[in-house]
Structure 1
Amino acid sequence: MKILIADDDQISRMITKAAVEQSGHECIVAVDGDSAWQLYKEHSPEAVVTDLMMPGLNGLDLCRAIRAAEEDRYTYVILVTSHGSRKDVLAGMEAGADDYVTKPLDPFSLHIRLLAAQRITSLHADLARYRSALTEQARTDPLTKLHNRLKLAEDLGTLHGGGTPDLDYCLAMVDVDNFKSYNDIYGHQAGDAALISIASTLAGEVRKSDGVYRFGGEEFLLLLRDQRAADARTVMERVRTAVQELRIEHSGDPDGVLTISAGISAFTDGHRAGTEQLLREADLALYAAKASGRNRVSLAKS
């Protein structure tokens, strides 16, 4: 583990540092509470061994600052007191400390507490990874592995941030042409495989900064950041061509292969519409593309 020691007394620091290193851990040393807080932010230690009384931030203040700053990780805090009074111990625990030791420091007592710290921080790290995986899973379409509508809503919310974005962007609603008949002819297993292939193509034809989402069924939604309508249309024509060139056979389609149609709406200087309106406009543009023959891209009327 990486362990931060905070103590204004030089002899105490040396004893604690030696005990920590003898236990096989990496050591970072701070001479007061303020420098300890800075080192904590820079190095993100797994554990902190802090004296109760120090210049600047005292041990209680340091505990509170650490607990307030934690998000997906957990820092094990051991408070060092001069006499281990019940009042000091209680104040430390209420401030966020996990355990305490008394001066003069017993290396064996600290070693035992560091073993506990290692187990606890390891458990919290595992829990953080599980939470992250569950969060990602909740925002991912299980079939195509694209983002889903929950992630789309979050990304659009972040983009607008409660106000009006500075950058233009476009939404492109995409639908696989004649997909129902494809399922009827080739079966749902083939339909799933086709959707996976098309999804991969959509993601591969846009920038990493753009967003690609499964909107539902055979519909997809592309969020094209920092794009005007004309540029977005160029992108979507490239995407449409790439899907057609997959040459996924479809005897029920006039083109003989699976194709897509797309409708584009634009958030620009002259059209600062809300996300719901932009989605409706993209959907109407998609309908227009379908009505005019499919396998094409249409711009929304602004």
Structure 2
Amino acid sequence: MKVLVADDDPGSLLVAQAAVERAGHDCLAAANGDEAWGLYLEHQPDVVVTDWMMPGMDGLALCRAIRSRGADLYTYIVMLTSQDSRDDVLAGIEAGADDYVTKPLDPFVLRARLLVALRITTLHADLAHYRKVLSQQARTDPLTGLHNRLKLAEDLEQLHARSVRYGEQYSLAMCDVDNFKAYNDVYGHQAGDLALRAVAAALRAQARKSDGVYRFGGEEFLLVFPHQSLLRAKACMERALDAVRDLAIPHRGDPSGQLRLSAGISTFSPAQGGEPEALLGAADAALYAAKAAGRNRVELAG
């Protein structure tokens, strides 16, 4: 662990530092609260062992400052104090401390507290990891591995706000596998799932790093093109349709004999305005126009 020790008493600071290092942990030392806060911001230690009374920022203020950060990883705080009243102990814990040790400091007691701190910080690190994994799973389509509609809503909200603020364009492309119901009827749903995975991989391979590729639902996908005009987005989607054609997936239920894609594109323009929901509707309408015009093509929203 990385342990920060803060104490304005040089003797007590040395004792604490030696106890931390003998326990096998990395130690940062600060002679006052202000220095401790600077080291905390720079190094993000796992544990802070802080004296109560210090020049500048005292131990209580340091506890409150650390807790106000709301970081993903938990910092375990041990308060050092020569005061032994119950009110002082409660005040420290209410300020954010997890434990306390009375002075003069007993190295054995501090080492025992560090063992507890290791367990607690490890537990919090595991929980933070699982939260991150669950958050990613909640925003990922399990079949294709693409982002899902929840992630789309979050990303589109941010992109729209940024585009409005800086006067930038962006485009949306709604696309759909042609005659996919017939594909499932002929080849079965398992083959349909494999086909959707292949289409998703082809779309992702064609997208730029800044583009977003999402499974919108069923056999529908949505592509987001930041900073792209309507015509440039059309060129991107035509390359994507070519990539799907290059998969050469047989489809007896389609007139072409192979799996194909249709797409409709809408664009946000700062001059014209509009909300993301309206853009999605316009892209969907353009997709239906592509279907009506014979499929296997890209149509632009009016």
* Band the TM-score falls in, shorter-chain normalisation: over 0.9
Alignment of 1:125 with 2:125, yes or no, is: yes
Name the CA distance, whole Å, in 2 between partners of 1:224 and 1:30: 49
Match of 1:13 in 2: 13
**Equivalence for 2:202:** 201
Q: Which amino acid aligns with 1:154?
A: E
2:187 is aligned with 1:186:
yes
1:158 aligned residue: 158
Q: Deviations over 1:41-84 (max 9, x none)?
A: 11111100001011121100110111110232100000000232
Q: Check if 1:266 corresponds to 2:301.
A: no
Q: CA RMSD in A?
A: 1.3
Deviation by residue 1:185-232 (Cα, 9 ceiling, x = unmatched): 000000000001111111111112211111110001111111111111
Partner residue of 2:236?
235
Distance 2:33 2:169 in 1: 46
The CA deviation at 1:165 is 4.1
Q: Residue 99 of structure 1 aligns to which amino acid in structure 2? A: D
The 5-angstrom pairing of residues 99-178 of structure 1 reads 99-161=99-161, 164-166=164-166, 167-178=168-179
Displacement after TM superposition at 1:18 (Å): 0.4
Give structure 1 regions of 4+ aligned residues with deviation exceeding 4 angstroms.
none
Q: Which amino acid aligns with 2:82?
A: S
Task: Say which SS state the counterpart of residue 142 (structure 1) adopts.
Answer: coil
Q: How many pairs align?
A: 301
Q: Which amino acid aligns with 1:159?
A: L
Percent identity over the alignment?
62
Deviations 1:95-134 (A, max 9, x none): 0100011111100000000000000000001111111111
Aligned AA (1:241):
D
Whether the aligned pair in 1 keeps the contact of 2:206 and 2:240 (CA below 8 Å) is yes
TM-score, normalized by length of structure 2?
0.97
Mapped to 2, the partners of 1:69 and 1:136 lie a distance apart of 23
CA contact (8 A) 1:84 1:101 kept: no
CA distance in 2, matches of 1:227, 1:36: 48
Q: Which amino acid aligns with 1:125?
A: A
Question: Could you say which residue in structure 1 is the equivalent of 2:213?
Answer: 212
Unmatched 5+ residue regions in structure 1?
none
List alignment gaps of at least 5 residues for structure 2: none
Match in the other structure for 2:40: 40
TM-score (norm 1): 0.97
Whether 1:74 and 2:74 are equivalent positions in the alignment is yes
Structure 1 SS opposite 2:57: coil
Residue number in structure 2 paired with 1:51: 51
Given that 1:171 and 1:221 are in contact with CA atoms closer than 8 Å, whether structure 2 keeps it comes out as yes
Deviations 1:126-157 (A, max 9, x none): 11111111111111111111111111111112
